[in-house]
């Protein structure tokens, strides 16, 4: 009889433990769900020139990433200046080479810059102030999706707006 009571008590305790474990995991799942923010619902997409550079919207702002070819290893960049408007920003990066004697081998400098901004951005232009005369002098990123309006709709060379969903072209009225 004692064994039966002990077994029943152990089964009841096991059932209670499983119940509370299930409730706890359901509570954790509910806590992990957060209200979506506008940037997580519809993050902006940007097209950058030259190719190989990307601009992505993050919670803290906008991240510019890419690689710049340099004449030697050891080049670094610093954000020297910024000019902001309601819809865009223009930045200047100073690209500096190493001091002293270095091997003259074409190298790559990774560019990974977070531009902290809490308002929308349609265009980012980065001017590269560098000591060598090849490669891009400017990086330009334009918004192409994610809350697009008439001012930011892509246009082709014939001054026609392009509907990115249907690829239909319409003549823009001026």
> pLDDT above 90 covers what percent of the chain?
47
**Average model confidence (pLDDT) across the chain:** 73
Q: Are 171 and 157 in contact (CB under 8 A)?
A: no
Query: Could you give phi then psi for residue 160, rounded to 5 degrees?
Result: -110, 140
Same domain, 27 and 45: no
Residues 28 and 107 both lie in one domain? no
Please indicate, yes or no, whether residues 5 and 44 belong to a single structural domain of this protein: no
Same domain, 100 and 122: yes
Tell whether 61 and 144 lie within a shared domain: yes
The answer on 53 and 71 residing in a single domain is yes
Q: How far is C-alpha 28 from the chain's CA centre?
A: 28
Per-residue model confidence as pLDDT tens digits over 122-158? 999 999 999 999 899 999 999 986 544 434 444 555 5
Read off φ and ψ for residue 156, nearest 5 degrees: -95, -175
Same domain, yes or no, for 57 and 108?
yes
Q: Kindly state the helix (H) or strand (E) to which residue 133 belongs, with its residue range.
A: none
Percent of the chain with pLDDT over 70: 58
Per residue in 10-54, pLDDT (tens digit) is: 444 444 444 444 444 433 333 344 433 334 445 678 999 999 999
- Under the banding of pLDDT at 50, 70 and 90, the label for residue 107 is very high
Task: Identify the domain containing residue 4 by its residue range.
Answer: 1-33
Q: How many domains are contained in the chain? A: 2
Distance CA 97, CA 53 (A): 21
User: What is the pTM assigned to this prediction?
Assistant: 0.59
Residue 160 in domain: no
Nearest C-alpha neighbor of 88 from the set 56, 60, 64, 121: 121
Residue 23 covered by a domain:
yes
């Amino acid at each position: 009889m004692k064994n039966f009571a002990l077994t029943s008590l152990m089964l009841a305790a096991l059932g209670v433990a499983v119940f509370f474990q299930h409730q706890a995991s359901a509570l954790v799942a509910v806590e992990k769900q957060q209200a979506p923010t506008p940037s997580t619902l519809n993050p902006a997409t940007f097209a950058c020139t030259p190719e190989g550079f990307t601009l992505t919207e993050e919670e803290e702002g906008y991240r510019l990433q890419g690689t710049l070819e340099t004449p030697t290893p050891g080049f670094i960049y610093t954000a020297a200046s910024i000019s902001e408007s309601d819809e865009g920003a223009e930045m200047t990066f100073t690209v500096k080479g190493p001091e002293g004697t270095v091997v003259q081998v074409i190298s790559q400098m990774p560019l990974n810059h977070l531009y902290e901004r809490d308002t929308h951005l349609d265009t980012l232009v980065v001017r590269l102030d560098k000591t060598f005369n090849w490669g891009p002098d400017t990086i330009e990123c334009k918004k192409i999706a994610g809350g697009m309006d008439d001012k930011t709709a892509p246009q082709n060379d014939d001054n026609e707006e392009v509907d990115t969903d249907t690829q239909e072209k319409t003549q823009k009225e001026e």
